[in-house]
Amino acid sequence: MGERLERPTLSLLIGCLVLLTWAVVNLQAEEHIVLLDPTIEQPEPQDPITKQPMQILDPIAKQPIEPVDVITQPKQPIEPVDVITQPNDNFDKTLFQQVEVTPEVQAKKDAILESIVSASLSTIERNIQAADDLDKAFFDKGIDKIGVSSTDAFGPHLLTSPQAIKIAISGKIFTGISKLAAEILNISEQNIERQLSRPVPILTELCNFSFLPDCTLAATSRYRTIDGSCNNLNNRLWGRSFTPFERMMPALYDSFDQPRQTSVFNGPLPLARTISSQFHAQSVLGDLMPDLSHMSMEFGQFLSHDIQRNALSTGYQGSNIDCCQPNRGDPCFPIEIPSDDPYYSQFNRTCMNFVRALPTPNLDCTMGQRQQLNQNTHYIDGSQIYGSDVATSNSLRTFVGGKLQTGADPNIPNLLPKDLNNNANCHLPSANSNVKCFLAGDVRANQQPALISLHTIFMREHNRIAEGLSALNNGWSDQILFDEARKIVGAILQHITYKEFLQAILGDTIMISYGLKPSTSGYFNGYASSVNPAIKNEFTTAAFRFGHSMVHDSLKYSGTSHLFKDVFLKPDLVYDLSGGVDTITKGLTDSYSQKVDERLSHQLTRHLFEQQPGFGGDLAAINIQRGRDHGIPFYMLLKTICNVDDNVHSPTVWNALNALYQTEFDIDLFSGGVSENSVAGGKVGPTFACIIAKQFQALKKGDRYFYENSGNQAFSPAQLDEIRKTTLSKVICRNTGITSIPSNSFVKDTGPSNPMMSCNGVSDIDYNQWKCGWSNWGPWTICVNSIRFRLRTCRQQKPCDANVCIGNAFQVQMCRTFIDADTSKIEALIQRFESVLAGQQKNDGVVDINTAQKALQKLSSQDIIKKNELDTNLVE
């Protein structure tokens, strides 16, 4: 393989060039910009006839289909042949080769699409039902099981919500019909989006995104909705949970929707496990980050769970599909383990379980490529703490004092609430042990104890803030306290993300050029309703997985260390009476992360969620396989789109990649990106830096509730300043028993630029900025002609009740008396001054202090006291 690369034939080179040109030209073509460019608004899906928002219909409930016994048959894709043969020849396929079309031609094309859809819908639905029957049969036979002991390397990322499973029903219909239409109409892979992306009324009815929420209340609300809807008032579903990931580039699948498995020059791609074992080798000791702490890794994972949760296929009743059984077919895409595998071969293991991500219709409800679903809100809003839907959020609340639930453990207060039914599927020491999994807004919280610890700390931060707000504002309801505390915690998370985390990962140059640095004062005025904040598929499937390379072999815990394989899915350490969350957190700030490079710990590439030796998972192989499952274009395309120069790998690394792949144009995005030399001042290479920076730019500009925004949902300037004072270290100090911590807990080493900070007396948020009613009196002004005055303001910034008080109030006083002075004259002056001030009060009840001072000077200059009296006889 390596030889081919060193001496490429002319045709190979031409092939690559054509492919790259195709990608670049397609991205620049107008139609693609409309689809992909987040800065362009997309229309809300509507019924094309009534122009009303569409309702969701459950396509399966619409038409019950006879179950069939299929387990004895190897599962084959069921071709809807009857549909293709019938109307196939009557269609004018040439219409679908044209780029420029007149309205008449478009109408003809729409009619053709509609007739294909109506002819094939029932067959597609029958195929889906047949697949469901197969799943049921595997479940009934005890092959697919529910929960933690179901197959090798079971992890909580496999726990898919029923809501996602429901959306996937229409996802399968959309993908099935689009594939069929592309086949019938001879539409080439690269033309699918351009030619098929049209609303077809029958399909629109089946699309879950046709139903739009009512945003009347949200339009003026100070608070985000729990599910992220109504953030963008023109595109109400943008960023909502249970909506598709968007793409930077069109997908590259095999055969329309099948995982990318073929080289651009034909022949198979190298196996994901082979790339992992040969390229993503074990991190070595000298491979540590020179500066960043293991907390940088952990915060990255916590943040990742805020903004993305892929929906993976499940079997009957949410069981875990065992894809290593023969003949499973779609949605199985098992990871093949070669017989000479350096590790798994000793266990005679040849297969690693892997299910494909569920398909979803796209947000426009038009036909097109297979897309994947984000179950969490796309925004940075703390949804991993609060949940991404109202039911989850409610289940975590106490509904008293705005607080979140905590674990009722007499020995260790303030842990997360217990998951008494073990729905989160973690490993418990025994069924009746006091140790239970925890409940949080994201079901992956129990994945390992460091993640549980950050969840616990931020849950505590919420409760602390709710208490602080409640102490100053007796009248606030549980709902206002919850909403305001959630708003503050979301803002703190955003501030830490942009100020500390991204700064450490991307470095100054990228932060500045993408406008990611937070302002030091005032508001950020860059909100753009045309920017779609949605998480991009290239980001979630490859670029933001850079953090997997930062994971150390073990968690440092006091004097000892715990290998990750011993603590995956085990909450025990958190319950440890001699340490728990505090000790885990201290261990994270006290140890280095691994460097971002091609190397990953064996804890992740051999022992992921291992239950017995030899049967753990391989996260690097999973990342590569997931990229292929999602049709993520190869690394070189993304590198081109990001304008990255050549030679961004060390020669050794580039040679190692080229030895594995038939051509550099096959390199998977995760492998090519994670192994680049890092950008100046940052920790990731230029391609990942570009993808990550673009994503966080969209998450900033496209979030109406971004913490630095002005507008009717905004923090007051003084409140915003309080948020800006927060750091991750302060949050840790405020919510643990840790006594000292580096000022910047993302950086391990302390010194003059990162001094150790005592947690004793670490500053809290100044809740006074949230106090409703009159402020304290301000200072007295200087004495002017025996008179001074002072002001107090009415604090009715949101969410205060506007009836508490209004405007500002002033107090005027005689400040000097004179021997023999005529005090009655001074009192008269005070009265006149007061009436001038009253006249100056605007509608909002506010007197401007400068204007008041000028008025006093003017009055004084007209009247009363002689200059020499002032100088000689005054008494304070």
Task: Select 269 or 504, whichever has its Cβ closest to ligand HEM.
Answer: 504
Calculate the alpha carbon distances from 535 to 247, 259, 294, 776, 810 in Å: 8, 20, 25, 46, 51
**What CA–CA distance (Å, rounded) separates 246 from 166?**
20
Task: Select 514 or 609, whichever has its Cβ closest to ligand HEM.
Answer: 609
Taking the complex as a whole, the smallest distance from the CB of residue 696 to ligand HEM amounts, in Å, to 12
Task: Select 632 or 642, whichever has its Cβ closest to ligand HEM.
Answer: 632
Which residues ranging from 613 to 652 are in contact with ligand HEM (CB under 6 A)? 619, 622, 626
Taking the complex as a whole, the smallest distance from the CB of residue 334 to ligand HEM amounts, in Å, to 13
Considering only 297, 516, 720, 728, the residue that binds ligand HEM (CB under 6 A) is 297
Neighbours of 525 (CB within 10 A): 10
Neighbours of 332 (CB within 10 A): 18
Angle at 511 between CA 505 and CA 512, to 5 degrees: 160
**What CA–CA distance (Å, rounded) separates 510 from 689?**
8
**What CA–CA distance (Å, rounded) separates 436 from 418?**
6
Spatial contact of 525 and 698, defined as CB atoms under 8 Å apart:
no
Listed in order, strand segments (DSSP E) in 318-472 are 335-336, 351-352, 359-360, 371-374
Considering only 75, 194, 309, 418, the residue that binds ligand HEM (CB under 6 A) is 309
548 labelled binding-site residue: yes
Taking the complex as a whole, the smallest distance from the CB of residue 624 to ligand HEM amounts, in Å, to 10
- The amino acid at 821: A
Taking the complex as a whole, the smallest distance from the CB of residue 544 to ligand HEM amounts, in Å, to 4
Spatial contact of 727 and 543, defined as CB atoms under 8 Å apart:
no
Region binding ligand HEM by CB under 6 A among candidate stretches 31-39, 45-53, 216-224, 296-304:
296-304
Considering only 258, 320, 362, 447, the residue that binds ligand HEM (CB under 6 A) is 447
The two tokens of residue 427 are 């490993």
DSSP state string for 730-792: HHHHHHS---EEESSTTB---BTTB-EEE-TTPPPP-GGGG--EEPPP-PPPPPBTTEEEEEE
Q: What is the DSSP letter of 711?
A: S
Helices (H) and strands (E) in the chain, counts: 32, 16
Task: Select 223 or 568, whichever has its Cβ closest to ligand HEM.
Answer: 568
Region binding ligand HEM by CB under 6 A among candidate stretches 53-61, 274-282, 297-305, 641-649:
297-305
Is 305 a known active-site residue? Answer: yes
Task: Select 297 or 731, whichever has its Cβ closest to ligand HEM.
Answer: 297
The two tokens of residue 575 are 């319950």
- How many residues touch ligand HEM under the rule CB under 6 A: the total is 22
Considering only 280, 548, 565, 734, the residue that binds ligand HEM (CB under 6 A) is 548
Task: Select 261 or 797, whichever has its Cβ closest to ligand HEM.
Answer: 261
Task: Select 393 or 448, whichever has its Cβ closest to ligand HEM.
Answer: 448
Considering only 362, 494, 532, 540, the residue that binds ligand HEM (CB under 6 A) is 540
Which residues ranging from 590 to 619 are in contact with ligand HEM (CB under 6 A)? 619
Listed in order, strand segments (DSSP E) in 264-399 are 288-293, 335-336, 351-352, 359-360, 371-374
**What CA–CA distance (Å, rounded) separates 190 from 181?**
14
Region binding ligand HEM by CB under 6 A among candidate stretches 223-231, 300-308, 337-345, 469-477:
300-308
Taking the complex as a whole, the smallest distance from the CB of residue 458 to ligand HEM amounts, in Å, to 16
Considering only 26, 353, 362, 448, the residue that binds ligand HEM (CB under 6 A) is 448
Considering only 123, 235, 241, 308, the residue that binds ligand HEM (CB under 6 A) is 308
Taking the complex as a whole, the smallest distance from the CB of residue 362 to ligand HEM amounts, in Å, to 18
Which residues ranging from 395 to 434 are in contact with ligand HEM (CB under 6 A)? none
Task: Select 112 or 502, whichever has its Cβ closest to ligand HEM.
Answer: 502
Task: Select 157 or 832, whichever has its Cβ closest to ligand HEM.
Answer: 157
From its phi and psi, is residue 647 left (phi > 0), alpha (psi between -120 and 50) or beta?
left
Spatial contact of 174 and 244, defined as CB atoms under 8 Å apart:
no
Taking the complex as a whole, the smallest distance from the CB of residue 548 to ligand HEM amounts, in Å, to 5
Q: Does 462 bind ligand HEM (CB under 6 A)?
A: no
Taking the complex as a whole, the smallest distance from the CB of residue 378 to ligand HEM amounts, in Å, to 11
Evaluated on CA atoms 750, 752, 757, 758, the torsion sign reads positive
- Looking from the CA of 734 toward its CB, the CA atoms found within 13 Å total 20
- Dihedral, CA atoms, 171, 175, 176, 181, nearest 10 degrees? 140
515 by DSSP, 3-state: which?
coil
Does a cis peptide bond (omega within 30 degrees of 0) precede residue 199?
no
Task: Select 130 or 511, whichever has its Cβ closest to ligand HEM.
Answer: 511
Which residue blocks in 473-618 are alpha helix, DSSP H?
A: 478-496, 502-513, 537-541, 564-567, 572-575, 581-589, 602-605
Region binding ligand HEM by CB under 6 A among candidate stretches 301-309, 399-407, 466-474, 733-741:
301-309
Here's the x/- map for ligand HEM, 144-183, by CB under 6 A: it reads as -----------x-x--------------------------
Q: Does 574 bind ligand HEM (CB under 6 A)?
A: no
Taking the complex as a whole, the smallest distance from the CB of residue 324 to ligand HEM amounts, in Å, to 15
The two tokens of residue 864 are 């009363």
Q: Does 259 bind ligand HEM (CB under 6 A)?
A: no
Q: Which among 77, 59, 58 has a CA at the least distance from the CA of 134? A: 77
Taking the complex as a whole, the smallest distance from the CB of residue 626 to ligand HEM amounts, in Å, to 4
Q: Which among 642, 738, 740 has a CA at the least distance from the CA of 693? A: 642
Residue listed under structure tokens 């002991």? 149
Region binding ligand HEM by CB under 6 A among candidate stretches 525-533, 544-552, 740-748, 790-798:
544-552
Residue listed under structure tokens 């478009």? 106
Considering only 38, 171, 239, 300, the residue that binds ligand HEM (CB under 6 A) is 300
Question: Which residues, listed in sequence order, are joined to residue 320 by a DSSP beta bridge?
Answer: 145
Q: Does 241 bind ligand HEM (CB under 6 A)?
A: no
Q: Does 304 bind ligand HEM (CB under 6 A)?
A: yes
Evaluated on CA atoms 344, 350, 353, 356, the torsion sign reads positive
At residue 852, what are phi and psi to the nearest 5 degrees? Answer: -60, -40
What is the b/e burial string over 170-189, where b = at least 16 CB atoms within 10 angstroms of the residue's CB?
bbbbbbbbbbbbbebbebeb
257 by DSSP, 3-state: which?
coil
Q: What is the DSSP letter of 56?
A: P
Q: Does 551 bind ligand HEM (CB under 6 A)?
A: yes
Considering only 160, 225, 301, 406, the residue that binds ligand HEM (CB under 6 A) is 301
Task: Select 147 or 213, whichever has its Cβ closest to ligand HEM.
Answer: 147
Active-site residue, from 32, 294, 305, 552: 305
- Looking from the CA of 135 toward its CB, the CA atoms found within 13 Å total 21
Residue 298 exposed, middle or buried by CB count within 10 Å (0-12, 13-18, 19+): buried
Task: Select 460 or 545, whichever has its Cβ closest to ligand HEM.
Answer: 545
Taking the complex as a whole, the smallest distance from the CB of residue 264 to ligand HEM amounts, in Å, to 24
Q: Does 544 bind ligand HEM (CB under 6 A)?
A: yes
Q: Whose CB is nearest to ligand HEM?
A: 547
Taking the complex as a whole, the smallest distance from the CB of residue 266 to ligand HEM amounts, in Å, to 27
In the annotated binding site for heme b, the residues are: 548
Please report, in range form, the residues annotated as the binding site. Answer: 548
Interface residue list for ligand HEM (CB under 6 A): 155, 157, 297, 300-301, 304, 308-310, 447-448, 540, 544-545, 547-548, 550-551, 564, 619, 622, 626
Q: Which residues are catalytic?
A: 305
